Amino acid sequence: MSASQSDLSNPHYGYDIVVATTQSSINATIKEYLSIDQQPVTNIAFIATSESQEYSLGDYDTIMSEVKKEVSGFTDPFSIPDGTDPSDNQAIKALAKQHFTAAVRLQLGLPEGYAPADIPDYVELPGKNGPVTFNLLCSEFQVVLYNPGTGFFPTPTWTNISQPTDGNAWIYSALVNLDLTNVPNSEWGNLPPAVQKQIKNLSGSAFSIQQLLFDLTNATLSSSTPTLSGVPGKFKTVLNDIIVTQYFKSAQSKGQPIAGVAVKQEPSSSTLKLTDLNFMVNPYMNSGGTPENNPSQEEKAVATLNYLCAVNDNTLPAANAFTWNWVSTQNAGQFDGIVSVNRHTLANYFAKQVMPYVSPNCFKSSVSVDMDGLDVDYKWSMTSYQTPTVSVSESGKQVLSISYSSSSSDQAGLNGDMGKMELKPSYTLTVTFDGDTMTFYQHLKVYLYIRSLQTSASGNIIDKTITDTYTLSVTQDGKLSVSAPTQKTTDTSETPSRSGFLNFFTDINDLINDVKKWADGFVPTNFSDIPVSVAQNFVFPGGNTFAFKSVSFSDDQDLISEITYEAPSDD
């Protein structure tokens, strides 16, 4: 699949995690979500601030409350029929006292009159990274206008118009800049931190369709003045003035969604906790790794909206277009996107997970050889739980190496002619990612050299390796599942010794056996297989939003999984 080219550790990228979903899947999921989940109704009131009928926002609920005090049975201005004579209607007169001049009712949803396949797309991704076109289609879109009779139109009028139900919806279109590091207007920095946190959601619902709708409808992120299409010509100017000029600017300054979209932030079960997030669009790339000049409809459908994520308070790099397609046209429809975890991020995670099994095998050696008259006294020790060196590789299937070594020696007499001892323990763990397997290779070695007078012995009193290979899969909710490991253990340890005749004079064998006995008692308890739990404790981000289908390592050892949006619920 195309995601096999994932190379997030490339200095051009550097994101800890990328979640990429296709344009077609985003639109299909939005439509499915809106078909079963009724969105809140947004009522907006406008008041006249002068005889010239300049509009400004009013408080809808306050105006309605005042009118209801005066007019029995009044519900709302949208129930007053079109063409009603204002001079003969108590509700309109009461509204006029509140300086009421217009009201808009919006409800984000599926407009009437369309066959399912003909509903326009809500999201259109650009041909290169840039603002996303968001088309706000409503299940309800109604406007009432009160003209008190001034200027060239001295007769008061009441207008009540609604979006047609014959498949000609009124569409509010906006270019939305989802690059949260470069919001194009000054309002973003002025927003309260709580509002900024809502827009840049780092919780378990970060990748949900609800959150995406919240961001797309948020006026703060619009990079240009929105437009209205489909509205009858004689009303288009006034509706643009009402909705675009007044309401849009107010919503922009407050960081509010245009259509009252709400999202609930949820706890995340992900192993890697998000600490920063940004968006980037990736259009369909040709074989040369550049955007296709004239993409087909099928190629446009697999363009992706990419969530660029940082974890552990790492700095989130700037957005740079990927040179590969996350989903190919051949795989379109089989899944909705990809989650990819940077090989470096994963290697650092596993380094922490294996450390409890590594550090007991990291020994610092100590040796002393002292003379008491003509007697030579040998003393030694090996202290475990030392801090090893952790190395994360830049490329290749081996992604992680953890190692520790120590060397100590001492001698007695001239150039050690009376006695000498060397003790060199070393431990190495390497981790390899390949296909759908992880391999942990451990090597523990302890080299011993002893000399007494002209007699010496040396060898690796410990020389053992353990290789554990795990085959990976993933559960639907994004948790790694690991097969029973394929294990291989080798032991080439030796017991160096001298002949019994020489040992009678030097006691080398006794000293060797002393070290060997200690090693044979310690190693079996501490040098063991890396347990399955090290891998099985890993959970992908996005488990609240997606169903996970498969898992493998890319050609550059990023961990990738195919994802499909979970069926939206009406919770």
Has residue 14 been placed in a domain? no
User: Residue 150 has what pLDDT?
Assistant: 67
Q: Please write the tens of the pLDDT for every residue from 534-558.
A: 888 899 999 889 999 999 999 999 9
Range among 93-107, 177-191, 256-270 with highest mean pLDDT value = 93-107
pLDDT above 90 as % of the chain: 53
Q: Please write the tens of the pLDDT for every residue from 8-25.
A: 999 999 999 999 999 999
User: Residue 77 has what pLDDT?
Assistant: 96
What is the three-class DSSP state of 26?
A: helix
Whether the pLDDT of residue 502 is over 70: the answer is no
Which among 314, 319, 16 is positioned nearest to 182, based on CA atoms? 319
| Contact (CB, 8 A) for 301 and 24 | yes
Question: Which residues are within 8 A (CB) of 389 and not within 5 positions of it... i.e. 6 or more apart?
Answer: 402, 403, 404
- Helix axes 209-216 and 23-36, enclosed angle (nearest 10): 100
Same domain? 374 vs 495: yes
Which among 377, 375, 404 is positioned nearest to 389, based on CA atoms? 404
pLDDT: is 38 or 97 the higher one?
Answer: 97
Same domain? 225 vs 354: no
Tell me how far apart the alpha carbons of residues 429 and 465 are, in angstroms, rounded to a whole number: 10
Which H or E element spans position 437? Answer: strand 437-452
- Helix axes 60-70 and 90-97, enclosed angle (nearest 10): 130
- Work out the average pLDDT over 246-269: 74
Q: Please, which residues bridge with residue 377 across strands? A: 370
- Work out the average pLDDT over 369-393: 90
User: Residue 414 has what pLDDT?
Assistant: 84
Tell me how far apart the alpha carbons of residues 41 and 31 are, in angstroms, rounded to a whole number: 18
Same domain? 379 vs 488: yes
Count the residues in the chain. 571
| Contact (CB, 8 A) for 372 and 419 | no
Whether the pLDDT of residue 161 is over 80: the answer is yes
pLDDT: is 129 or 315 the higher one?
Answer: 315
DSSP symbols for 265-322? ------SS-EEEEEEEEE--B-TTSSB-SS--HHHHHT-EEEEEEEETTPPPPPP---
Q: Please write the tens of the pLDDT for every residue from 206-226.
A: 999 999 988 888 877 877 778
Q: Label residue 189 by pLDDT band (50, 70, 90).
A: low
pLDDT above 70 as % of the chain: 92
Which among 198, 197, 175 is positioned nearest to 185, based on CA atoms? 175
| Contact (CB, 8 A) for 229 and 174 | no
Same domain? 372 vs 241: no
Whether the pLDDT of residue 323 is over 60: the answer is yes
Domain tally, the chain: 2
Range of the domain at 367: 346-536
Q: How many CA atoms lie within 13 A of 371 on its CB side?
A: 13
- Work out the average pLDDT over 350-357: 94
User: Residue 437 has what pLDDT?
Assistant: 96
pLDDT: is 571 or 131 the higher one?
Answer: 131
Range among 151-155, 167-171, 403-407, 528-532 with highest mean pLDDT value = 403-407
Which among 6, 52, 230, 212 is positioned nearest to 137, based on CA atoms? 230
Has residue 443 been placed in a domain? yes
Same domain? 250 vs 389: no
Which among 165, 170, 105 is positioned nearest to 136, based on CA atoms? 170
User: Residue 133 has what pLDDT?
Assistant: 92
- Work out the average pLDDT over 25-54: 83
Burial class (CB in 10 A: 0-12, 13-18, 19+), 488: exposed
User: Residue 391 has what pLDDT?
Assistant: 97
| Contact (CB, 8 A) for 305 and 21 | yes
Has residue 326 been placed in a domain? no
**What values do phi and psi take at 331, rounded to 5?**
-95, -5
Has residue 97 been placed in a domain? yes
Q: Label residue 262 by pLDDT band (50, 70, 90).
A: confident
Tell me how far apart the alpha carbons of residues 180 and 553 are, in angstroms, rounded to a whole number: 30
- Work out the average pLDDT over 60-77: 94
- Work out the average pLDDT over 412-429: 90
User: Residue 501 has what pLDDT?
Assistant: 37
Question: What residue has token string 């003509």?
Answer: 374
Which H or E element spans position 536? Answer: helix 533-536
Tell me how far apart the alpha carbons of residues 170 and 400 are, in angstroms, rounded to a whole number: 56
Question: What residue has token string 């009376």?
Answer: 418
pLDDT: is 30 or 232 the higher one?
Answer: 30
pLDDT: is 502 or 363 the higher one?
Answer: 363
Same domain? 248 vs 361: no
Has residue 285 been placed in a domain? no
Q: Please write the tens of the pLDDT for every residue from 105-125.
A: 988 899 999 998 899 999 999
Has residue 200 been placed in a domain? no
pTM score, two decimals? Answer: 0.88
Tell me how far apart the alpha carbons of residues 192 and 488 are, in angstroms, rounded to a whole number: 58
pLDDT: is 214 or 5 the higher one?
Answer: 5
Q: Which two tokens stand for residue 326?
A: 């996350």
Q: Which two tokens stand for residue 492?
A: 């080439």
pLDDT: is 230 or 314 the higher one?
Answer: 314
Q: Average per-residue pLDDT in the chain?
A: 87
Same domain? 360 vs 475: yes
**Helical spans, DSSP H, in 170-305:** 187-190, 193-199, 209-216, 233-239, 249-254, 297-301
- Work out the average pLDDT over 283-295: 88
Has residue 550 been placed in a domain? no
Same domain? 238 vs 352: no
Has residue 8 been placed in a domain? no
pLDDT: is 153 or 361 the higher one?
Answer: 361
- Work out the average pLDDT over 490-501: 68
Neighbours of 569 (CB within 10 A): 8
Question: What residue has token string 């080439």?
Answer: 492
Same domain? 248 vs 353: no
User: Residue 91 has what pLDDT?
Assistant: 95
- Work out the average pLDDT over 190-202: 80
- Work out the average pLDDT over 350-372: 93
| Contact (CB, 8 A) for 433 and 399 | yes
Question: What residue has token string 């390949």?
Answer: 434
Q: Which two tokens stand for residue 150?
A: 């001034």
Q: Please, which residues bridge with residue 440 across strands? A: 431, 468
